[in-house]
Amino acid sequence: MESVQQPLTSPLVGLFVELCATPSPSGQERVVADRVGAFLTDLGLEWDEDDAAARLEGDTGNIYCRLPASNGSGGTPIFLCAHTDTVPPDASIDPVVGEDGVVRNAAGTILGSDNKAAVVVMLEATRRILDESRPHAGIELLFTPQEEVSLRGADAFDHTRFVAQTGFVYDQGAPIGEIVLGSPHGRLLDFRFHGRSAHAGMFPEEGRSAVAAASRAIADFRLGRIDEETSANVGTITGGTARNVVPEWCSFTAEVRSHDERKAVELVREMLETAAFAASLGECEVESEVRPSFPGYRFRETDPPVVLAASALRAAGFEPTYALSGGGADANVFNARGLSCVNLANGMMEIHTPAEHIAVQDLETMVEVTLALVDAARET
């Protein structure tokens, strides 16, 4: 069994541990972005950062870098994308490499492999391409902020800057070899119930409980796994002012996802009607707002970008498998804008939880997969 120190001698793993130890919740990615920029500068590459920070009220924009095609190289130029933010950590982050070669957080919150594993793989693969003078058909790198809050960074990026029309993200928590063929359409729902406040002990009959009305609505929603294509969730709820006051206000947030957009629209309509009915029963009023979260997409196994990914995986020693994802990624944005962007699993596991982890071997393997992608693209 390898010692803890041995994997840490790898610059790839060292950079990964460094980035994971740096908190970067959405809107606060500055330190990680600066490290990415410094790495690109050390490689002698030109890069720039757009003005998305100001537009998104964060501290970081999109970092873009382009490697022009090697002289005489044909093939298909590609872009690679990773996001620099994470979901908010609940505590400090203390990444450690165990004797089993797996990186975990010893501090009891997220690790941040989503998506810093992809960040370091893209950087290390680029370093190797340059060091080895590896021929390629053109490579573009994009590092986005605020992916975890409805893909805001990618949405703010000017996608017309891409020369490549084919891209890849590594943002699926599953074993290496899995290719995501589709992602759901998402809708965000916000509800605010308005009742009437009253003293809960002296004059309760004069009050109209917004909390009770909202709770009735939530109890009547169809939530969780609706069918194999559709899910719904209520994520947060707030309301009331004091224990002894009938609550005048109650708000909650929800979401709907479905691979069939018609199902998503129908479920949203059902939830709006359910909330309105619950409000009427409680003699309350309800305000609701529906916003798009992310657009869905669907590939076939025979589509050229999927064939390219499968070829690269086989070259790296993996037999491809195919799956539909229940989550969104920056790929959703680019596919909606007419580009072809495939999401590949990269070995990160139990993301967004204190049990999140990734094997050192999977980090190293994804570098090989990236180099195989570059080679396969040059040959197409």
**Residue numbers annotated as active site:** 85, 147
DSSP sequence for 300-311: -TTSHHHHHHHH
Report d(CA 295, CA 327) in Å as an integer: 11
Nearest residue to 313 via CA among 114, 175, 115, 183: 175
Amino acid symbol at 28: Q
Find out whether 79 and 330 touch, Cβ atoms under 8 Å: no
Provide the strand spans (E) within the chain.
47-49, 63-67, 78-83, 95-97, 102-105, 139-144, 166-172, 178-183, 185-194, 198-199, 224-227, 230-239, 245-246, 249-258, 285-294, 297-298, 321-324, 340-345, 357-359
Pair 281, 349: CB distance under 8 Å:
no
Distance between CA 259 and CA 183 in Å, rounded?
A: 6
Burial string for 292-327 (b: 16+ CB within 10 Å, else e) reads: ebbbbbebeeeeebbebbbbbbeebebebeeeebeb
The backbone region for 347, taken as left when phi is positive above 0, alpha when psi lies in -120 to 50, beta otherwise, is left
Tokens, residue 75: 């093939």
**Per-residue buried b or exposed e for 212-225, using 16+ beta carbons within 10 Å of the residue's own CB:** bbbbbbbeebeeee
Instruction: Identify the CA nearest to 91 among candidates 113, 104, 115, 110.
Output: 110
